[in-house]
A and B are shown apart, each in its own frame.
Chain A
Amino acid sequence: MDRKLQDTLGARPSDSRPSKSKRDTAAKRIDFGSDGVTDHNILNLPTSDYKLLAAITLLAAIVRLFRIYQPTSVVFDEVHFGGFASKYIKGKFFMDVHPPLAKLLITLSAWLAGFDGEFDFKDIGKDYLEPGVPYVAMRLLPAILGVLTAPLMFLILKVTGCRTATAVMGAVLVTFENALTTQSRFILLDSPLVFCTALTVLSFSCFTNQQEQGPSKAFRGPWWLWLTATGICLGATASVKWVGLFTIAWVGTLTILQLWVLLGDTRTVTLRLWFKHFFARVFCLIIVPIGFYIGIFAIHFLCLVNPGDGDGFMSSEFQATLNHKGMQDVPADVAFGSRISIRHLNTQGGYLHSHNHMYPTGSKQQQITLYPHKDENNVFIVENMTQPLDTNGQEIPGPFAWDNLTADYVEDGATIKLYHVMTHRRIHSHDVRPPITEADWQNEISAYGYEGFAGDANDLFRVEIVPSMSDGKEAKKRLRTIETKFRLIHVMTGCVLFSHKVKLPDWGFEQQEVTCAKGGSLPNSVWYVESNSHNTLPEDTEKVNYRNPGFLGKFWELQKVMWITNAGLVESHAWDSRPPSWPTLRRGINFWGKDHRQVYLLGNPLIWWSSTTAIAIYVIFKGIAVLRWQRSCGDYDDVNFKRFDYEIGTTVLGWALHYFPFYLMARQLFLHHYLPALYFAIIILCQTLDFAAFRFSVRSVTPQPTFGKAFIAVFLALSIVSFVVYSPIVYGNPWTQDACNRVKLFSTWDFDCNTFYTDLSQYTTQYVNTGDDVQSDATATQPQGNPQIVHSPPSGNVTPQPEQPEVVSHEERVEYRDQDGNLLDEEQVAAFKKDGQVSFQTRYETRTRVVNAEGQEIFNGEYAPPHPDVEGQNPETGGRRDEKPVGNRPASAAGEGKSLRHEGHGQPRPASEGKEATAQ
C-alpha cells in the first residue's frame, strides 16, 4: 500500500495508475503515512522560535499600525463597511453581498469605542474628526488581524517543515507587502478574510502533518484539535466573504485525497476504521462550518430588527418580520365591492398604483405603476362585470353598489373591473405600446374613465388563480387575501397584467412599469391581494396575515438574494481589473486622494513578481516531472523530490483555487480579490526557496545553509526597500512628484503623481488638523489641469466653487433614495436617524401628494445638480449651448438626479458592492 500512496501523492494530477518503476521502490512504510514526514507540532517549537515569533509580531504591528489615524476621512469602501456598522448599531436592516462576520466584528469594535451610529460614511473623503467617529478603533480590528497574518505565515511555514530562516522570510514578506498592508489599514473585509484564510491554512497544515505521520497519530488529541480548528476556521472564512468557499474547496479536495489514500491502506485501515475517519471529517469539515455560518446569520438577524434600506430586496413575508413592518391581520375573503390593494409577487416593486398623472406617450391616459409604499392611491374596488340588482330588480349603478350587499366572494375565473377610488378611473388596457418597453407583445395599461362612467369592455379582467403558488384548498378556488396568487387576464385582448424591473422615467416618478403582456413570463404575471376590507364583513370574519418564514426561511431567502445581487454586479467600474492582470500587478486601485496625498492599493512589485515566478517554476517543474514520470525515469524514488512535488503542489492548488474561479465571474473584480491567492503565492515562494536552499542535494552534496541564509537576507532587504519606496501611497504620506514619477514603472499604475507637491517642504500643514481644510482642499489645484465636470454635492459639507471651472471635485456621494428612487435630502436623512418608522411612512405619502399637486416637477430645484453644459460650469461647452435641446427629453433632464453618480476620472470610488443595495 505504501507504493500506492506514493503514486497517489507523487503523481496526483496525472493519474494514480501504478507505474513499473515505482513498484520497484523499496517499501519504507506499511501504512497510510507518508515518507519523509516528521512531526512539526507548532506547540513544541524551540524557545528561540517563539522569541522570533514575538519579534515578528511586533515588527508587523509597527508596520501596519504606523499612523493608522491617517487619513482622517473616509477611504474607499469604508463607505460601505463603515456604513454597515452604523446600521448594525441602529439595527436597520440592510442587504449586502457579503456574509456578516467581519462586519459584526467591526461593529463590535466601533460599539466598544462608543460609536453611536450617527455617521453615515457616505462619501470618500468625508471627515471623521469633527463628528468624533471612533474610526481608529474601527480600523484597528482589520489592522490587528492584518498584523497577525505575519506570525501566522511563520507558523504555516514551520508546520510544513521549512527552516526557521525561511519562516522568518515569509513573515517579513507578508509584513512588507504593500497591498496587504494597505488593505489592512482601513475598515475593509479583506484583511479579516486573509486572516481567516491564513488561520485555516495553518490549522489544516497542522492536521495534515498529524495525518501524514500515520496511524499512531490518528484520533489523538492534536489530530482532533486541528481537524476541529480547520472546521471552525472554514466556517469563519466563509462567514467573512464567499471567497471562503474557495478555501473550503481546497480543504475539501485535499481531504478527499487523504481519504482515498486511507482507502488504499488495506493493512492498517479496516473499513470500520475508514468510516470512522470519514465521519470525523464529515462532522468537522462539513457540519461544524455550516453550523458556524448559520450561527453568524442568527446573530445578524438578532442585530437587524428594524426596517432599513435593504427591505426592498426581500419578500413581503421577510419584511413582515421586521419591527413596525408587520401589518394587522386582514380579512381573508375578497368579495365584490372589497377595497383591496394588489401587490406584485416577483419583484419588490410594490403595489398596483395609479395617480392623477397621464402618460406622456401612447394613449396619454392616466398612469398605472407599481409603488413600493402603502398609499391611498393603491386602493381599488373589485367590481363585478355586471352591476347587482336591488330588491326591485333594478340595477344599482356605481362602484359602491356592493357596499350594502352581503359579501359575494370572487371565485376563480370571475370577470372583474378594478376601480381606482381616488381618481374614479378603472384599470384599462388597449392595443397601444407601453411607455418604455416597446415590444410588440406588450400593451399599455392605463386608468381610464371618470366619476359616474360605467366603464367599457376594455376594463374587464378575468381572475385566474395559479393553484401551484396558492396556499390552501380554499385559496385555490376563490380569491383570498395573501394566500391566493393569481393572474389578471384582459378579456378583450387576452394579455396578462404584468410588471418587471423597468423604471419609468421622471414623469412616472421612477416607479415601476406595469404593462399587459401576451406571453410574459409567469413569475412576473402573478399578483396577490395584500389589504382588503368590505363594509358588510363582520368583525369576527376569518383573518389572515403573512406567514412567518422562520429563521431558516429567512436565512435561505437572504442567501438567494445575496447570490443574485452578487451575480448582478456586472456594471464596469472605474477601478476594476480582470484576473489576468493580477499576478503581474498591472493595475492598482485608487483608495483615497485629498490634500496632495493619496492612498493607492498597489502590491510590493518584488514580492508580487517573485511569488508569481515561483508558481511558474513549479508549473514548469510539474510539467517536466509528469513527462519524465510517463517515461519511467524514477524521479519519485527521491523523498525530497516527492515531498517537493506534494507540498508545493498542495499550496499551488490552494493558489489556483483562490485565483482561477474569478475567471468565471462576470461581476466587477478588483485587485484586492487576489490577496488570498497572494498569501498562498508567498507560501509557495518560501517553500520553493526552502527546498532549493536547504533540502535539495545535487549529486549528494547538500548545499551550504549559509548561502541560503545570505540569499534570504538580501531578498528581504530588497523587499523592504521596495516597500519603503512605495510607502507614501500606503500610508497617505507626503511625497514629491519627482519621487513618484521615478518609481511609476508602468503607465498602467495609474496613481496620479501630479497630486503631490513638487517639494516635501510644501507639506507644512500638520495633517491631523482638518475642519477648514476639508472646505479648502476641494478647491485645491487640479491634477493635470484637465477640465472636468464638476458635480457639486447637495450637502453643505464640501462645495466646489462653481466659478472655478478647473476644479475637479474630489468628492462623491452615496445617494439616499427612497424605494421608488426619489433622492432624499439631508433633512430627510436626518429624520431617519431618529428611526421613527411610522412617520417614515407618512412622510412619503405626503411627499407623493405634494409632488402630484406640483405637476411634473418632482424634484425641487435644489436636488438637481448643476449640469455642466447647462449651468455654464464648463466654459467651453456651456453658455453657447443656446439651441433647443434635441430628442424627446430635455438635455438638462438627463443629468437630473443622475449625473451625481458620475464623478470625474481618476478619483477614488467605492466598489459598488453595497451601493446596489441603496440604488434599488
Chain B
Amino acid sequence: MSTAGFNSQNGTGTGQTYTNGPSQNPVALQQPSGVGYSVNHQPAYNQMQAKVLAPPGPALYPSGPYQPVPPGPQVGSYPPAPAQPLLPRPQIGVLPSHTPPQSASPGPGPWPAQATPPAQATPPPPAVTSTGYYTGPPAWQYAAPRGPAPNHVNPAAAAPPLMSHSSTQPPGPGAPPTSIHGYTQLGSAPPPMNPLPPHTYQPNRPAYGPPPTMKPTAPPAGPPGTTGTPPPPKADAQCWGAASSARPPAEPDTQEGDVECPGDVAGNGPQAPNSYNHVDNRMAGAAPPGPPGRHLGHYPSLPPGYQNTSAPPPSSLHPALQAATQPYTQGPLPYQQQPGGPGPSPGPAPAQLSPSMAAMSLQSSTPEALRVVNLLQERNLLPPAPVPAPTPCLTQDLQKLNCSPEVFRCTLTSIPQTQSVLNKAKLPLGLLLHPFKDLSLPVVTSSTIVRCRSCRTYINPFVSFLDQRRWKCNLCYRVNDVPEEFMYNPVSRSYGEPHKRPEVQNATIEFIAPSEYMLRPPQPAVYLFVLDVSHNAVETGYLSVFCQSLLDNINALPGDSRTKVGFITFDSTIHFYNLQEGLSQPQMLIVSDIEDIFLPTPDSLLVNLNECKELVQDLLKSLPNLFEKTMETQSALGSALQAAFKLLSPTGGRMSVFQTQLPNLGVGALQSREDPNQRASAKDVQHLSPATDFYKKLALDCSGQQVAVDLFLLSAQYCDLATLGCISRYSAGSVYYYPSYHHQHNPAQVERFQRDLKRYLTRKIGFEAVMRIRCTKGLSIHTFHGNFFVRSTDLLSLPNVNPDAGFAVQMSIEENLDDMQVVSFQAALLYTSSKGERRIRVHTMCLPVVSSLSDVFAGADVQAITGLLACMAVDRSVTSSLSDARDAMTNAAIDSLSSYRQSALTIQQPGLLAPACLRLFPLYILALLKQKAFRTGTSTRLDERVFAMYQLKYQPLAFAMLMIHPALYRLDDLSDEGALNIGEQTIPQPRVLQLSVEKLSREGAFLLDAGLVMYLWIGRNCHQNFLSQVLGVSSYAAVPEKLYLLPELDTAESQRTRAFVSWLRDQRPFFPSLHIIRDESQLKPHFLQNMIEDRTESALSYYEFLLHLQQQISK
C-alpha cells in the first residue's frame, strides 16, 4: 500500500530480490528480508518505537531491521528474553505484552527531547528500540529512561558477530541507513516511514526534531539515555512495572510450555511457550550467553529486526494502513485523547502516555479492549487517527515473528477453542489477505524446499524443532526430518543451526522454486489488449489516452526478453493486427464472421515486444486516428473475447479489455436490465446476478488456460457490470469502472484513468499462480471471497496475480482445538514472475487459542470483521436479496452485542454496551448499510452498485475500509504541528473527524476521502485566506463550479494542502479523483451521502441506529 512499497515492487525491489535471490548471498538476502519485512510488518507493538524512530526518518527503520538481525542483540536479549516472555506472555488478560512496545515508545519520547537530525537519527532509534526489547527488560525496568539507548548500544557492540550487520550497527545511525540502502527496497521505504511516525506520534511531536542523529555513534555512550527521554522513561517505568507485575503469571505459562523441553534453561523458560522457542532455549542452554548471542539469540535477534522494520513501515503506510500496523500506539492514543477531548492534541506528556500505554495492547488490553463502552453515551468514539489492527496476545517472541497485519489479518485475533464458543460470540471467523502486496522480501534459493511430508506445509517460524535433526509441523503435528542441506545456515554460514535459517526466521518469505513446481516451462509475460472502437468508444476519447499511456510505459511493462504483446480491436467485427517482424507497418486483418471466430494468422498476432517495438509504437500512434470517423455502433464483445482467448490460450497471459457500452451483437449479447425509475426504490434491487453464464464460462476456460481478463469499463450508460464482471471475477482479473467517462466533459475521470493505467501497466504481475491456504488441523476453510476460481477446498486458481488484490476467507472450527495454545495459518502463493522465474511466496500467521468468551471478544478486530461481513453481505445480496443482506448485517451487530451483554459482561448496566474493541462496530455496520453497494432509497445506478460490491470483495482491507467509512479532515487550518516529514516534504496530519454535518462549519474547508473519490467542500463563509492562498480565487463566489485540481500556488497553505492530498493519494494503488465543491454544487448530495452519522430521508442516523440496536438487544 505504501508508495514506497509500490516502487520497490515494480522497480528495484524485485530487482534486488532477484539479484540476491540466489542463496549464495544468504546474508544479504536475509537482511533485505528483514528490512522488507519490517516495512510491511511492523507489528503493532513496534509502532511506538516507530514513532519515536520516525523523527530519525528513513535511517531508522533500515537500521532497525538490520540490527535485529545481528546476533548481538540476541545475546543481550537473552537475559532480557526471560523478562520479555513475561511481558508478552501475559495472556489476553495481562497488560504486559503491550508494555514492551510502550517502552519502545517512551524511547522515542526522549529523542524528541534531544534535538537530532531527523534522517540520521532514525538509525539509532531502531537500535534503541530493538535493544530495548530484548536486552531491555531488565535494563528497562531499572533505568527505564536511559535504558534503551545504552542497551541498544551495547547490543550493537556485541552484535558484531554478524558481519554485515555488525558493521552497520556499530557505526551508529549513519551506518545503518547505508546498509538499508544497500538493500534497495529499504531506501524507498524509509521516506514513507518518516511520515508515519510523526503522524502517529503527534503528541510527542515537539520532541521530534532532535532525535539525535548522533545517537548512532553516541548510542553506546548512552547519549540517548541522558538525552531527554526523561518523560518517556516515566511512562516506560510504569509500563514496566506493569510488566513486571504481570510476570509472575507469565512464568507459569512458560513453564507449561517448557514441560515439553525440560532441558531448557530456566531463563529461557518464558519464551518456551512455543515449541520453537524451546528449541532456542535449548540452544541457549547449550551455548553460553556469549556465543548464543548469535545463534541462540537468533530468534530474539530477528525480532529486533522486525521491530525496527516494522516500525518504519507503518509510517510509510496510509493512515488506514498505519492503523493496522500501529495498533499499539494508535490505539492508545485515540483512547487517551478522547477522554481529553481535543483528541490529537499535541504530545501527551510522558505521564499521560503511561496510562495510555497501559491500555494499549490487547494483551494488556484485556482491560482496555474489554473496557465497557456505553455507545449511547460516548459520542466521540472515532479515534483521531486511523484505527490500528489489534495485536494478538502472543508471547513477544512469537509476535515479533508474526506476519504483518497488512498481509494477513484475522477477524478474531484470539481463536475460540470450539465452534460452540464461536457460535456464542456471534462474530465471523475469517482471514483477510493481501498476499501479493508490494514488499521487499527475503528470497531463498534452495534445491529442496523444506515442507511437512504429510500436509505439505512450508517450514515456518512457528514450527518446533525437537532436536537439530527433526522438526514438528505446526499445522498437522507430524514430526519431519531436517534435510541435510537445511542444516547449513547461509546467513551465518554456519552448520547445525536449522532454526536460524531465514525460512524459520521470517513469517513472510519467498522461495525460488525448483522444477518440481512447474507443470510446464514458466510462461513469458504476455499482454493482449482488447479495445472497443465502436462509435461510442471513439466518442469518449479513451483510445488516445490509452495509446499514449502505453507508449509512455511500454518500456516499463514487467517482463523479460520473451515478453509478447498483441492487440485486438472490435466493433461489429473483430480486427486483428499483424505485427510480424519485417513488416513496414502494422497490418490490420478484419474478421467479420463473429459467429465462428478464427485467428487469421495465429503466429504473428502476438509478437515479441523487444523485436517489434517499432511496429507496436507505430500502431499505437495510428490507432486513435484509424477509427476517428467510424459510425459503427454495435459491439461484439463476446466474439472478441473468444478470439482473444484463442490467441492467448497456448501461452496464458493477461488480457486487458476496454469496453464502453453494452455488448449487443453475437455471442454474449446483453440487454439492458436497469430501470432508471427503480434506482431509488426502497424495494429490493433486482439484477445483481449475471444475466447469462457466457462470461462466466469463458472466464473458467480462461482460468484453465492461465489467462486472466482485466476489465476497464468506461461508460455513461448501463453496461451490465453484474454480467460482464464475471469475466474478470472468475479469471482472477480486476475490474475498473469509470462512469461517465468523457475526454472533455469529465476531466477528473480522465486523470483517474490515466493514473490507474500507469499503475496497471507497470505494476508487478505474477502469472499462472495458485494460492493454497492451510490451517492447523481442526480449522477448515468455509468460503473464499475475491476474484479467483476455487479449484479445491483450499486451493485458489489465479491465472494472474497482482499486488492490488485482496482476498477474504471464512473459516469454521471443525474439531475442538483443545490442548492447543496457538494455531497457525499459512498462505502459499506459487507464481511465475514476469522474468520467467517460478516463485513461492509464503505467509504464516500464528494466533493464540482461547476458551473463554470474553477473551474472544477482547481479540476481536473490528475492521477485519467489517470487511469480512461486507464480503458475506455481497454474496448474500446476489444469492438471496439485498434486503436480506442488510438485515444480516444489522443482525450481526445485534447478535454480537447481545451475546457480549449476556455472556461476557459481568456487571449489567443500562444502555448499549460494547467492549472497547468493538465500539466502532455499530458505526461500521451503519456505514455499510449506507454504502453504495447496500444502500436503498438513494438513487444508485446498478453498475455503480455492482462495482462497489466488487470493490468490497476485491480491495485489500485498508482500502475497503476507506470505501466503507470515509475519512473527513478539516483543511483550512492545517498546521505543521504533528506533521510527517517525508523527504523534504512536510505532510500535515489533521485529525479524522466524525462523518456528521455537525462537524462541518461554514467557515471551513473539509476534505472527504472516500477511497476512490475525494471531495473538498468549501464552506460558504470560508476564510478568505484559504480561498486566496490555496484555491487562488478572490472570493467564495469565484470558486469555479467544476474544479478538479488544486492550483499550484507558492504559498505555505497551498503547499501544505497539496502535500496532504498527494500524500493520501500516493498511499493507494488507484487514483482517487478530487472534486472541489461549493455549498451549492451539484455534487453536494454525493458529498453529503457520505455523512454516515446523519439521518437521511431513507436511513437512520447513528444515534437512531444505536437505539434500534438497543431495542433489539433488550428484546
The yes or no verdict on A and B being binding partners is no
Which residues does A use to contact B, with CB under 8 Å? none
Which residues does B use to contact A, with CB under 8 Å? none
